[in-house]
Amino acid sequence: MPQPLDRRGFGLALAALALAAPALPLAGCAPPASAQRGAASMLVPDFADLAERVLPAVVNIAVTSEQVPQLPPELRGTPFERYFRERLRERRRQTIGAGSGFIIDPAGYIVTNNHVVGNATRVVVSLQDGSEYPATVVGTDELTDLALLRIEPRGRLASVPWGSSASLRIGQWVLAAGNPFGLGGTVTSGIVSARGREIGAGPFDDFIQTDAAINPGNSGGPLFNIAGEVVGISTAIYSPSGASAGIGFATPSDLARPVIEQLRRDGRVERGWLGVSVQDLPPEPGRSPARSGGVLIAAVERASPAARAGLRPGDVVTAVNGERVESSRALVRSVALAPPGQTVRLTVVREGRERELPVQVGRRPPGVS
């Protein structure tokens, strides 16, 4: 099971060299050493310049939170409840955690994961030069596991730009940076192993999978492309041991960036909502194109935006604003991107006939996953 945090290209380089071996000259006719070094550099990039450029914008995050032991259920409502509650309050204990983040604005705005700072009573950010700053939490978003912090720096800070995760290709080199096991600024390299991974974290699962080593403490750290742009945020790992097993997951920048912009502007994220239960409806052979694929409406909540618009159980949604949707997750994401109050056009198949229904989306209620 993937866990919230959190191979390098060496093996890949060896494999590539092995595959290329038959094309090399025979012994006694080897190319000059400079040519060999040039060929190797095309297979394995040197990350030194990239690391030197981006590390000043990568931060360590130390978190302190208070935990109060819970009263056993069997004592509730008994004469002993008050006594034990007072004892438990005296036994408050502090827990200390660590994570990573990155500066997106020289004024002191820092991106990290919600699970790094979600229950914090105190957050301290450490820069690469060793300076420390208390941080305030500007806003968090549990559904995408993102958070935005703010510090008041004594001078202008180094920052890193966003990149486009949509442009990533499987096999492309990436560099992860962060604070694994609390050791401090660390970089690891790898490739994009897969895209669009769903790991059961929530309705907006769309993770980048990478074999760059990601470990506990890397949470919230940036995943860079070769240009030094942030294309992902290290969020979770799959690991039988709790440490890196070469399968790490990063939230794509194209998903994270608009969430962070909302948090910076409003301190919270508001999403569109229909009020329906949905399930995938895969294409079936022999069906007409109008009935091929789509998302089945299984139930409609009373007095919801969907109910007011006339959506019914059994309807099949095939597009939102003309863009085809082929999975329930795609439908949820498309609607969630619409600000509450905005009208979206749903293309719906009902009793074999296609029609369009305008729906004014509502505000997604708290706690809806």
Query: Which tokens hold the place of 179?
Result: 């604070």
C-alpha pair distances (Å), 211 with each of 100, 104, 169, 185, 222: 18, 25, 14, 19, 14
- pLDDT for the residue 115: 94
Which active-site residues does the annotation give? 115, 145, 219
Domain boundaries, the chain: 56-150, 165-266, 272-363
**Average pLDDT, stretch 23-34?**
44
Which pair of structure tokens corresponds to residue 364? 């997604």
Q: Give 35-90 pLDDT, tens digit per residue.
A: 555 544 556 778 999 999 999 999 999 999 876 656 667 667 776 666 666 666 65
State yes or no: pLDDT of 26 exceeds 60. Answer: no
- Span 282-300, pLDDT tens digits: 666 655 544 457 899 999 9
Rounded CA separation 81/67 (Å): 19
Cα–Cα dist 45/48, whole Å: 9
Residue among 360, 366, 363 nearest 346 (CA): 360
- What digits encode the pLDDT tens for the residues 149-207? 999 999 899 999 999 999 999 999 999 999 999 888 999 999 999 999 988 887 888 89
Return d(Cα 288, Cα 201) in angstroms, integer: 35
pLDDT of residue 289: 47
CA 228 to chain centre: 18
β-partners of residue 102 are 58, 111
Query: What angle do the packed helices 10-20 and 33-43 form, to 10 degrees?
Result: 120
Query: Average pLDDT, stretch 332-355?
Result: 92
Could you give the CA distance from residue 304 to residue 256 in angstroms, rounded to a whole number? 28
3-state secondary structure the chain: CCEECCCCCHHHHHHHHHHHHHHCCCCCCCCCHHHHHHHHHHHCCCCHHHHHHHHHHEEEEEEEEEECCCCCHHHCCCCCHHHHHHHHHHCCEEEEEEEEEEEEECCCEEEECHHHHCCCCEEEEECCCCCEEEEEEEEEECCCCEEEEECCCCCCCCCCCECCHHHCCCCCEEEEEECHHHCCCEEEEEEEEEEEECCCCCCCCCEEEECCCCCCCCCCCEEECCCCCEEEEEEEECCCCCCCCCCEEEEEHHHHHHHHHHHHHHCCCCCEECCEEEEECCCCCCCCHHHCCCEEEEEECCCCHHHHHCCCCCCEEEEECCEECCCHHHHHHHHHCCCCCCEEEEEEEECCEEEEEEEECEECCCCCC
Phi-psi region of 303 (alpha: psi -120 to 50; beta: other; left: phi over 0): left
- For the record, the structure tokens of 159 come out as 């920052």
Overall fold of domain 272-363:
Pdz3 Domain (2.30.42)
Beta-carbon neighbour count of residue 136 at 10 Å?
11
Instruction: Give residue 244's pLDDT band: very low, low, confident or very high (50, 70, 90).
Output: confident
Tell me the pLDDT tens digit for each residue of 308-325: 999 999 999 999 999 999
- Decide: residue 366, CB within 10 A, 0-12 exposed, 13-18 middle, 19+ buried: exposed
- For residue 251, the cross-strand partners are 233
The CATH number corresponding to 56-150 among 2.10.109.10, 3.40.50.1360, 2.40.10.10, 1.10.630.10 equals: 2.40.10.10
- Find, among 191, 250, 205, 244, the residue nearest to 223 by Cα: 250
User: Mean of the pLDDT values across residues 78-106?
Assistant: 75
Mean of pLDDT over the chain: 83
Give me 268's structure tokens. Answer: 């919270």
What pairing do the DSSP bridges indicate for beta strands 207-210 and 186-197? antiparallel
Please tell me if the domain spanning 56-150 has the same topology as the one spanning 165-266. Answer: yes
Q: Which CATH superfamily is domain 165-266 in?
A: Trypsin-like serine proteases (2.40.10.10)
